[in-house]
Structures are given as C-alpha cells and as structure tokens.
Amino acid sequence: MHCPFCSSEETKVIDSRLAGEGWQIRRRRECLECMERFTTFETIELVLPRVAKRSGEIEPFDENKLKRSISRATEKRPIPSEKLDAMYNRILHHFRTLGEREIPAKTIGEMIMKELKKLDDIAYIRFASVYRSFKDASEFQAEITNLKKGKRKKSSQLTLLLDNKKSEH
C-alpha cells in the first residue's frame, strides 16, 4: 500500500476493524517513511452480472442507475436513509451472489418492486408506474387495488394466526 502523503511503499497496519455491516475491513495504517497515518477499506470484489435489455442489447450493471431509480421512487417519502441503504445493499448482494453472467433487466425491475413493496406503498406505486409504463389512471387504480388486496390477505392471515394462538391457551 502506497502512502498517500509521500508515496512510500513502506507502511504498517496499526488497527483492523469490521465496517460496512461486516462486508468491509477498515485498516488504520502508518507510513514508515513520513510517519503519517491514513485509513484504507478492504472489500470483497464480486462482479455484478451484465444486464440484458428488452431490445437485446447487453450493458454493464450500473449501480448509479439503480440508486437513482430507487431515489426517485422514494423522493420526499418518510423513509430513513438506513432503510434505503439496506435495501440497496440487499439488491446488490442478491445480484452479485447469483453467479450469473447476465440477467434480464426485467429481473432487476421486479426485485426493486418487491423490495419497495415491503418498504413503502407510495414508492412502490411510483416505481411501478414508470417501470410498467402506466398509460392512464385506470392502471394506477388496478395496481393500488392489487396492493390493497395483498395487504388485506396478509392482515386476515395474521388475524387467523393470532386467533389460533389464543384458542390454544
């Protein structure tokens, strides 16, 4: 590791700690020439798969594009940045560990929608409207109806589960 101050190759590690939810190692280093200290981060490098677009074009996975699309969907929503970062990292981790060289763009869109649906209904509808190219209000209404049905189904399943637990006691 070259010293950022004097470019010497002679440095030593003073301290190492886990960082980034355990996906990074933070190393505190000291240059043996100029005695300056600096921090480095070591991360696992897993290559993201290439993206197969609907047009048949293949392009590199663009992390910035992913972050922008999530950011647009969640703009002005009361979602803590920690939750957004965790969602973003889950999506990246999923695609890095797939072991595939190429994935359809549709798979990325569906994964984002799945994550947004768990996080925030409005962000989900915003993303879905762009991703699925809604043409009019009826398509919005249909998606909102489906979202409500899914919530009611979960709610009724939870009620049944709680009722069963009460009857057991």
pLDDT in tens, 59-104: 999 999 999 999 999 999 999 999 999 999 999 989 988 889 999 9
For the chain, give the mean pLDDT.
88
- Please report the pLDDT score of residue 143 as a whole number: 87
CA distance 145 to 143: 5
pTM of the prediction?
Answer: 0.63
| Strand, helix or coil for residue 131 | helix
* Dist. CA 68–CA 106, nearest whole Å: 17
Phi, psi dihedral angles at 97 (to 5 degrees): -95, 5
Annotated domain spans of the chain: 11-43, 50-139
Residue 95 confidence (pLDDT) = 92
What is the spatial order of strands in the sheet that 50-52 belongs to?
Answer: 58-59, 50-52, 102-104
For residues 140-169, average pLDDT: 67
CA angle 74, 119, 49 (to 5 degrees): 80
Specify whether the CB–CB gap between 116 and 130 falls below 8 A: no
